[in-house]
């Protein structure tokens, strides 16, 4: 089976396209550097040899994550998480810049990692910021909310790491930052999309209110490679 749309296998489309400069490869399998993202890019219908190549790529006991690819790991692999999710696209989003959003750069990473640790929006690692487009809101000098971009299949860019400190929720910060990132994406001639956990009803309600539309259900799988010996 061949994916008919870039969002059917978004990590693979990204690493073979817009983000190929970040790709590490073994055979037909690609991945992001381990300190950027845990996502790997298997073929749409992986064969036994592809799983062997993935094991070589991540190394013994290495962790790999897939997004939306219906692939069941072979014996020897340990599934650490199997999470039902949803994929939304933003063709109908009325995006606009946020006046209080500030660009975030490498010097902001320690604060970003701290905010992610407190809010748990999903994977964010020391070099994730290299995927681009991160913005935040500061109050009294401290970072209290942020959002940015992650997977970038051709023609699309994923809004990710949308999070707000618990003390500042209810102020619309997630809404403004989501629309700000979407605005930047659209201004480049691309289209925003995003993923959410299927049971995160508050996030789903927010995204639907903003005009995002459900494209499909997806499954996120996090797995550990076999040990050697």
pLDDT tens-place string over residues 43-97: 998 999 999 999 999 999 999 999 888 778 999 999 999 999 999 999 999 999 9
Give the side-chain half-sphere CA count within 13 A for 215: 18
Pairing of strands 191-197, 156-164: parallel
| CATH 3.50.20.10, domain 6-84+219-224, yes or no | no
Burial 80-98 (b: 16+ CB within 10 A, else e): eeeeebbbbbbeebebeeb
pLDDT at position 158 is 98
CA distance 64 to 54: 8
Residue 2 has pLDDT above 80, yes or no: no
Architecture of domain 88-216: 3-Layer(aba) Sandwich (3.40)
Q: How confident is the model at residue 228 (pLDDT cuts 50, 70, 90)?
A: low
- Ordered by start, the domain boundaries in the chain are 6-84+219-224, 88-216
pLDDT at position 1 is 43
pTM of the model: 0.94
């Amino acid at each position: 089976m061949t994916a008919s749309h870039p969002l059917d296998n978004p990590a693979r489309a990204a690493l073979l396209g817009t983000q190929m400069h970040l790709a590490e490869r073994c055979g037909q399998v690609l991945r992001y550097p381990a300190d950027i993202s845990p996502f790997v890019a298997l073929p749409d219908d992986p064969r036994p040899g592809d799983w062997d190549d993935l094991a070589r790529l991540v190394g013994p006991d290495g962790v790999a994550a897939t997004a939306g690819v219906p692939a069941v790991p072979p014996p020897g692999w340990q599934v650490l998480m199997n999470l039902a999710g949803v994929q939304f696209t933003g063709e109908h989003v009325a995006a606009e810049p946020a006046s209080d959003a500030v660009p975030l750069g490498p010097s902001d990473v320690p604060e970003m990692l701290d905010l992610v640790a407190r809010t748990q929006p999903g994977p964010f690692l020391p070099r994730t910021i290299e995927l681009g487009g991160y913005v935040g809101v500061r109050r009294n000098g401290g970072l209290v909310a942020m959002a940015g971009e992650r997977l970038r299949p051709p023609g699309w860019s994923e809004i990710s790491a949308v999070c707000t400190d618990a003390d500042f929720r209810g102020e619309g910060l997630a809404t403004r930052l989501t629309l700000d990132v979407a605005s930047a994406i659209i201004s480049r001639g691309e289209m925003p999309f995003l993923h959410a956990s299927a049971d995160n009803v508050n996030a789903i309600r927010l995204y639907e209110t903003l005009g995002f539309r459900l494209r499909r259900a997806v499954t996120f799988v996090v797995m550990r490679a076999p040990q050697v010996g």
